[in-house]
Amino acid sequence: MKFREIYCNNCKKMLGRYNIKYYDNDKIKEILKFRHSLHVRKGHQVIIRDVIKKS
């Protein structure tokens, strides 16, 4: 399965993992904007990366 992860480089932790099948880039950016805005406001480097999970 393919996922997109929202990851904070400063905290070194994953903030969320979303299935590509259900969440496109626009939806993930919207989630980042509303749900994880505190990290961005604090000046943390938040990235969206693709992850492939073997089942």
Query: What are the residue ranges of helices labelled H in the chain?
Result: 25-35, 37-41
Q: Provide the edge-to-edge strand list for the sheet that holds 2-8.
A: 13-19, 2-8, 46-52
Question: Quick check: 28 and 12 in contact, CB under 8 A?
Answer: no
Q: Residue 15: what pLDDT? A: 92
Mean pLDDT of 5-13: 92
| Domain ranges, residue 27 | 2-52
The 10s digit of each residue's pLDDT in 11-30 is 999 999 999 999 998 999 89
State the total domains in the chain.
1
Q: Residue 55: what pLDDT? A: 66
pLDDT band at 7 (very low <50, low <70, confident <90, very high): very high
